[in-house]
């Protein structure tokens, strides 16, 4: 996080970022006849990720704030990487985030005919030529940042010859790579984007929308500015890596006397700690089966975050907090989690669930008795009311909540000690039962104090801990999947010498607990349902639940002191050994 964002956040006021400042000024000056029109232009070659959410919130956000429009445009100019399933996921994700393109869903491929006509026009104006150098040669001729490029021997073909060759390119008379159409700009330019960039290339490929109609496809730089112009975009917002392409964006529109000349404005892309935000690399994770799919709950994709239990509100709030700036920075993933907790805290139903059950038998509680105890559904929202939780002689508590030999600041259950069971009674541990052969603790024998019903002692006796629990006979078995960061390194996108980003995959990023027990209230849980398991964190019902009984994903933990105690314990035990 950079400090200016922090400042805005803490002051609570929303000062205009540099893009909103430009837009407000343009509208005030009646530029573009007072119109504002933006677009979100993903290439359908992968699933959208949290970085795209930043661009979506920006483009749709400014449009709605300033009374403009925002298009969804699929930038589908490269059939070798694209797929209709990606298009469907993109539409689903943008809607889920809460944005509406209304009737303005467009495809760059809708403009292929017009783009072809524009290319002919450039050729006729002597501003584009067909080059027959090979791809390698073009690269060599291109020069470097320190050396100017060299002109192609085909650069000065006549307009007639270029028109003829380009038409024949289109008519499938050449193989892939035999020639390309290039802009005729300046091989000596200090900007490599301006050294006669390629505008069209030959690809004998079926396109997911235009089928076999085309065997030549426009390059991004050519298609993008013209698509923006065709759609009447006023402000073309893109990420910083396109800064060097801006002169080309403008050059193409100027050569063609475009009626609408959008203003390209670059902003910094989102980078997040412990996270990879590149569709190409995310695809690698999917293809190498390092994750279960694009929607694996560990993925930073919107479908992964949704499955994990993120809400659109949390993501939109995060995007607002990080703001937009002109310089690159990396945001701490803890901020994203903070936004998530803030949202789930107010909306999530509280329930009790035991992840690693340890049986407790209340020796002085009648065997056939069940009490229905009142529990609060959400202390943040009284309107969510209360529910009944069954209490019986046999219960489960969390294995972690008991220690035979408690360390100094462990206040939970241990032999002879009394604790509170949430919404229930005080119980005291009288006896520890162990398995004869493994010595594993199998059961705790406890007593309860009937006078402490509801969780308070009438004579003001204090206990230091309150534990969650479930009734053994009433609880439902569930699978719970715990997640950690997918990478062990804050910045897994390191330099080549440090190896591949996949070397830093966290082997502990997924832990599956199969014999968890949740309170019976959750028998009515639906896929996507979000709950706070008291003391444990926020959990969300996974779609796998249809197949496997109840399956929960841990969305995010609570900021619990447990982690701290464990740390201290570890330290102490390492000191001892």
Residues catalogued as catalytic: 43, 269, 279
Measured distance CA(234)–CA(30) in Å, rounded? 12
Determine whether 288 is exposed, middle or buried from the number of CB atoms within 10 Å of its CB (0-12, 13-18, 19+): exposed
Contact indicator for 77, 111 with CB cutoff of 8 Å = no
Question: Is 279 or 554 the residue whose CB approaches ligand ATP more closely?
Answer: 279
Measured distance CA(417)–CA(464) in Å, rounded? 10
Q: Give all strands (DSSP E) within 459-571, no chain letters.
A: 466-467, 469-471, 476-483, 510-518, 530-533, 537-541, 550-557
357 forms part of the interface with ligand ATP (CB under 6 A): no
Count of residues near ligand ATP by CB under 6 A: 15
Q: What is the CA radius of gyration of the chain?
A: 31
DSSP state of 301: B
280 forms part of the interface with ligand ATP (CB under 6 A): yes
**What is the smallest separation between the CB atom of 112 and ligand ATP, expressed in angstroms?**
18
Which of these ranges, 170-178, 273-281, 336-344, 514-522, lies near ligand ATP under the rule CB under 6 A? 273-281
Closest CA to 303 of 542, 63, 76: 542
Measured distance CA(350)–CA(375) in Å, rounded? 9
Which of these ranges, 51-59, 119-127, 413-421, 515-523, lies near ligand ATP under the rule CB under 6 A? 51-59
**What is the smallest separation between the CB atom of 87 and ligand ATP, expressed in angstroms?**
12
Question: Is 279 or 417 the residue whose CB approaches ligand ATP more closely?
Answer: 279
42 forms part of the interface with ligand ATP (CB under 6 A): yes
Which of these ranges, 50-58, 149-157, 339-347, 554-562, lies near ligand ATP under the rule CB under 6 A? 50-58
Determine whether 30 is exposed, middle or buried from the number of CB atoms within 10 Å of its CB (0-12, 13-18, 19+): exposed
**What is the smallest separation between the CB atom of 521 and ligand ATP, expressed in angstroms?**
40
Q: Where are the alpha helices (DSSP H) in 256-396?
A: 279-287, 302-308, 312-322, 333-347
Sheet harboring 349-351: ordered strands across? Answer: 349-351, 530-533, 537-541, 550-557, 476-483, 510-518, 353-354
Question: Is 42 or 304 the residue whose CB approaches ligand ATP more closely?
Answer: 42
Question: Is 86 or 423 the residue whose CB approaches ligand ATP more closely?
Answer: 86
Which of these ranges, 94-102, 274-282, 447-455, 488-496, lies near ligand ATP under the rule CB under 6 A? 274-282
**What is the smallest separation between the CB atom of 269 and ligand ATP, expressed in angstroms?**
3
* Phi, psi for residue 192 in degrees, rounded to 5: -60, -30
Contact indicator for 207, 160 with CB cutoff of 8 Å = no
43 forms part of the interface with ligand ATP (CB under 6 A): yes
* Phi, psi for residue 53 in degrees, rounded to 5: -60, -35
51 forms part of the interface with ligand ATP (CB under 6 A): yes
Instruction: Specify the length of the chain in residues.
Output: 577
**What is the smallest separation between the CB atom of 66 and ligand ATP, expressed in angstroms?**
19
Question: Is 270 or 299 the residue whose CB approaches ligand ATP more closely?
Answer: 270
Among 17, 23, 41, 501, binds ligand ATP (CB under 6 A): 41
- Sequence-distant (≥ 6) Cβ neighbours of residue 64 within 8 angstroms: 70
Among 31, 269, 359, 403, binds ligand ATP (CB under 6 A): 269
Which of these ranges, 278-286, 445-453, 486-494, 510-518, lies near ligand ATP under the rule CB under 6 A? 278-286
Q: Which two tokens stand for residue 562?
A: 């447990």
**What is the smallest separation between the CB atom of 270 and ligand ATP, expressed in angstroms?**
4
278 forms part of the interface with ligand ATP (CB under 6 A): yes
326 forms part of the interface with ligand ATP (CB under 6 A): no
Among 87, 199, 238, 463, binds ligand ATP (CB under 6 A): 238
List Cα–Cα distances, 493 to 336, 497, 498, in angstroms: 19, 11, 9
**Chain residues 239-268 in contact with ligand ATP, contact rule CB under 6 A:** 239
Question: Is 87 or 421 the residue whose CB approaches ligand ATP more closely?
Answer: 87
How far, rounded to the nearest angstrom, does the alpha carbon of residue 174 sit from its chain's CA centroid?
42
DSSP state of 505: B
**What is the smallest separation between the CB atom of 555 and ligand ATP, expressed in angstroms?**
22
**What is the smallest separation between the CB atom of 283 and ligand ATP, expressed in angstroms?**
9
Site string for ligand ATP, 54-73 (x = CB under 6 A): xx------------------
Among 277, 291, 352, 540, binds ligand ATP (CB under 6 A): 277
Measured distance CA(521)–CA(543) in Å, rounded? 19
Question: Is 55 or 70 the residue whose CB approaches ligand ATP more closely?
Answer: 55
**What is the smallest separation between the CB atom of 333 and ligand ATP, expressed in angstroms?**
13
The three-class DSSP label of residue 403 is coil
Question: Is 99 or 141 the residue whose CB approaches ligand ATP more closely?
Answer: 99
How far, rounded to the nearest angstrom, does the alpha carbon of residue 73 sit from its chain's CA centroid?
20
Measured distance CA(21)–CA(62) in Å, rounded? 11
**What is the smallest separation between the CB atom of 278 and ligand ATP, expressed in angstroms?**
4
| Signed CA dihedral, 26, 27, 30, 31: sign only | positive
142 forms part of the interface with ligand ATP (CB under 6 A): no
Among 20, 201, 279, 350, binds ligand ATP (CB under 6 A): 279
83 forms part of the interface with ligand ATP (CB under 6 A): no
Which of these ranges, 37-45, 76-84, 253-261, 314-322, lies near ligand ATP under the rule CB under 6 A? 37-45
290 forms part of the interface with ligand ATP (CB under 6 A): no
Shortest-Cβ-distance residue relative to ligand ATP: 51
Measured distance CA(224)–CA(446) in Å, rounded? 71
Which of these ranges, 19-27, 276-284, 478-486, 489-497, lies near ligand ATP under the rule CB under 6 A? 276-284
Pairing of strands 69-74, 105-107: parallel
Which of these ranges, 39-47, 98-106, 520-528, 553-561, lies near ligand ATP under the rule CB under 6 A? 39-47
Tokens 């936004």, located at residue: 339
Measured distance CA(153)–CA(32) in Å, rounded? 42
Question: Is 54 or 517 the residue whose CB approaches ligand ATP more closely?
Answer: 54
Closest CA to 339 of 364, 353, 319: 319
Q: Which two tokens stand for residue 494?
A: 């390191």
Contact residues toward ligand ATP (CB under 6 A) are: 41-43, 51-52, 54-55, 238-239, 269-270, 277-280
């Amino acid at each position: 996080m950079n400090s200016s964002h922090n400042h805005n956040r803490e002051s609570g006021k929303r000062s205009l970022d540099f893009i909103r400042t430009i837009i407000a000024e343009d509208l005030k000056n009646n530029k573009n006849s007072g119109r504002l029109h933006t677009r979100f232009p993903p290439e359908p070659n992968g699933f959208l990720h949290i970085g795209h959410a930043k661009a979506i919130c920006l483009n749709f956000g400014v449009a709605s704030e300033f009374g403009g429009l925002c298009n969804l445009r699929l930038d589908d100019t490269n059939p070798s990487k694209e797929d209709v399933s990606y298009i469907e996921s993109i539409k689903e994700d943008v809607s889920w985030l809460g944005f509406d393109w209304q009737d303005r869903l467009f495809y760059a491929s809708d403009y292929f005919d017009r783009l072809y006509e524009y290319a002919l026009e450039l050729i006729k104006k002597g501003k584009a030529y067909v080059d027959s150098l090979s791809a390698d040669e073009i690269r060599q001729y291109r020069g470097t940042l320190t050396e100017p490029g060299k002109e192609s021997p085909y650069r000065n073909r006549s307009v007639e010859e270029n028109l003829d060759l380009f038409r024949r390119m289109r008519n499938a008379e050449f193989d892939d790579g035999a020639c390309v159409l290039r802009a005729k700009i300046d091989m000596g330019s200090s900007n490599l984007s301006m050294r006669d960039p390629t505008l069209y290339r030959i690809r004998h490929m079926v396109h997911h929308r235009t089928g076999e109609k085309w065997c030549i496809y426009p390059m991004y730089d050519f298609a993008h500015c013209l698509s923006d112009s065709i759609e009447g975009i006023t402000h073309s917002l893109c990420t910083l890596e396109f800064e060097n392409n801006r002169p080309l964006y403008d050059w193409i529109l100027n050569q063609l006397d475009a009626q609408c000349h959008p203003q390209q404005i670059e902003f910094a892309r989102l980078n997040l700690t412990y996270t990879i935000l590149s569709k190409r690399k995310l695809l690698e994770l999917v293809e190498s089966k390092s994750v279960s799919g694009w929607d694996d709950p560990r993925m930073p994709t919107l479908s992964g975050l949704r499955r994990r239990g993120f809400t659109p509100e949390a993501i939109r709030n995060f995007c607002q907090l990080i703001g937009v700036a002109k310089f690159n920075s990396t945001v701490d993933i803890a901020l994203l989690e903070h936004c998530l907790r803030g949202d789930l805290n107010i909306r999530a139903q509280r329930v009790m669930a035991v992840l690693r059950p340890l049986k407790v038998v209340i020796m002085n509680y009648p065997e056939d008795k069940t009490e229905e105890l009142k529990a609060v559904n959400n202390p943040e929202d009284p309107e969510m009311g209360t529910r009944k939780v069954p209490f019986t002689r046999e219960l489960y508590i969390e294995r972690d909540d008991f220690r035979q030999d408690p360390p100094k600041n462990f206040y939970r259950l241990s032999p002879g000690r009394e604790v509170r069971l949430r919404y229930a009674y005080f119980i005291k541990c009288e006896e520890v039962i162990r398995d004869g052969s493994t010595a594993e603790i199998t059961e705790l024998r406890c007593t309860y104090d009937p006078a402490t019903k509801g969780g308070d002692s009438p004579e003001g006796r204090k206990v230091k801990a309150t534990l969650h629990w479930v009734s053994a006979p009433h609880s439902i078995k569930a699978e719970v999947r715990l997640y950690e960061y997918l990478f062990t390194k804050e910045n897994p996108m390191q330099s080549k010498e440090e190896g591949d980003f996949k070397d830093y995959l966290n082997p502990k990023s997924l832990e599956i607990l199969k014999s968890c027990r949740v309170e019976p209230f959750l028998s009515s849980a639906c896929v996507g349902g979000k709950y706070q398991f008291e003391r444990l964190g926020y959990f969300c019902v996974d779609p796998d639940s249809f197949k496997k009984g109840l399956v929960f994903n841990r969305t995010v933990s609570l900021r619990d002191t447990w982690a701290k105690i464990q740390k201290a314990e570890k330290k102490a035990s390492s000191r001892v050994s």
